[in-house]
Amino acid sequence: MKVAVLGTQASGKGTQSHILSVIMGVQTASVGELLRELQNEDSKRGHTAKIEMAKGAFVDDDIIMPLVKDWVSKHPEGWILDGFPRSVEQAKKCESFFKPDAVLYLEVPDEDSKKRISYRRLCSKCKTNYNLITQPPHSPNGTCDKCGGELVRRGDDTPELVEERLRHYHEVTEPLKEWFAARGKLVLVDARKGIAEVAHEAELKLEDLFHRKARARRLKLWGLIFLALAVVTFAVLTITGYILNS
Ligand SMILES: [Zn+2]
């Protein structure tokens, strides 16, 4: 089972990808994680990725495409990829190697997305992520549970940058919804609910999609068998008729 997970910022893509990967028993990764790994690689690609990411720019397809291709080919049994593709253009470019069975789309209105982002915190020392509502630190003085570091807002979570990312998302990423719907792969889930509820709904809807696909495949197979039988019967009757007439 191969699933791409899409959605706005703070729609819970990472969390849901991890839950689904446990349920389905397949590997999960996000493009961000793959890029961070690549940054540590002592290669030309690695250095370029590092420079682009430091600039805060969207990393070029020339780097992302081979990265995704490598990763999916390493997991032929199935995978869950969080945050890819980012645009219809990208989806078209990677059609030869990126073939998800389903695309899970987590929907959250902009206002909820902004609110969730305002609760995000990051440990200034060890970089562990927190959310003051869904994943608050347990230490009484509100510092990092792991290292006692101060929790701060992420540098790229300013209202202006959040707004800019949302605008870009609606313009570039959202059209993927229609694109995958037209291919019978879209699984839409309202991600405003709690983590467990969203995961449950996603699981049920994905199962439903796979059952429908399996049923369609079975019907097609039976159709072919009947067609083959009809052809054989027709041939036998024709030959028998020919022999009897001659
Ligand atoms: Zn820490």
Interval between CA 195 and ligand 1 midpoint (Å): 24
pLDDT tens digit string along 135-176? 899 988 889 999 999 999 988 888 888 999 899 999 999 999
Interval between CA 141 and ligand 1 midpoint (Å): 13
Interval between CA 151 and ligand 1 midpoint (Å): 8
Interval between CA 150 and ligand 1 midpoint (Å): 7
Interval between CA 112 and ligand 1 midpoint (Å): 27
Residue 101, domain member (yes or no)? yes
pTM of the full structure? 0.82
Cα R_g (the chain), whole angstroms = 24
The DSSP symbol for 155 reads T
Q: Which domain range does residue 223 map to?
A: 2-123+159-245
Q: What is the pLDDT of residue 57?
A: 63
- Which residue pairs from 207-210 have beta carbons closer than 8 angstroms and sit at least 24 positions apart in sequence? 209/101, 209/102, 209/185, 210/1, 210/101, 210/102
Query: What is the domain-level CATH number for residue 187?
Result: 3.40.50.300
Residue 207, domain member (yes or no)? yes
Return the H-helix or E-strand segment holding 7. strand 2-7
Residue 74, domain member (yes or no)? yes
Residue 144, domain member (yes or no)? no
How many domains does the chain divide into? 1
Residue 132, domain member (yes or no)? no
Q: What is the pLDDT of residue 49?
A: 82
The set of residues, in sequence order, having a beta carbon less than 8 Å from that of 109 and lying 6+ positions away, is: 192
Q: Measuring CA to CA, which residue among 93, 92, 106, 77 is closest to residue 4?
A: 106
For the chain of 246 residues, list the mean pLDDT of each consecutive stretch of 10: 93 93 94 87 84 74 91 95 94 94 96 92 91 88 94 88 92 96 96 93 94 90 94 94 87
pLDDT tens digit string along 75-86? 999 999 999 999
